[in-house]
Amino acid sequence: MPNIIFTLTIVFGLVLVNEIWWRSRKVHNEFNRKFVHITVGSFVATWPFFLTWHQIQLLSIAFLVVVGISKYFNLFKAIHSVQRPTWGEIFFALAVGLVTLITKDQWIYTAAVLQMSLADGVAAIVGVQFGNSNRYLVYKQAKSIAGTLAFFAASFAILVAYNHYGSSPVSFAQISFISIIASGLENLGVLGLDNLLVPLVVAFMLANH
């Protein structure tokens, strides 16, 4: 129980700090959203090291309910400030629990969730900063070459780190292949669906290589 209370306190604190930051109007909306995406998601990636798989599943359900209520009533405006239609927050909460059904390996879970939080967050920030001149459309949603390359690089780095710490390392070719697949899913996952597809597919590929 203390671990659950600690976890909820950290997540709520990060979301609250981001909301206050957003209301100050000092940063771009996309940076606010990705601040939560990266910080909360990276924290979630550490959960198997101090929570049970059952606790993670319960927290996923709880977050799904809270995010749904927040989206409906627009409670945390920073998180929902994106201008395009998206269900990314809902898919994010779903992925947290569903990855536990694919693997019970702590490092695979961590690598898969970091693909959703860190790689995707870095891609969005790089895309905003450097993607204006190299944009393209996927199902009418703007992507950029800069953002896609940033996703691939971050995805690759995460998998290299997994190889160092994980109990079931993969080859260089497999790291490259998984990073390419994850980058493709990030491009094709419209309406925020990449938040679900990327971690699930990466977890499956690492667990079954």
- What pTM, to 2 d.p., does this model score? 0.90
Gap between the Cα atoms of 164 and 167, Å rounded? 9
Task: Kindly give the confidence (pLDDT) of every residue in the chain, 209 residues in length, as a single tens digit, with 9 standing for 90 and above.
Answer: 788 888 989 988 888 877 777 676 655 566 666 788 899 999 999 999 999 999 999 999 998 998 888 777 676 665 655 555 577 788 999 999 999 999 999 999 999 999 989 999 999 889 888 988 898 888 777 889 999 999 999 999 999 999 999 888 899 999 999 999 999 999 987 788 999 999 999 999 999 98
Residues sharing a CB contact under 8 Å with residue 59, sequence separation 6 or more, in sequence order? 4, 7, 8, 47, 51, 96, 97
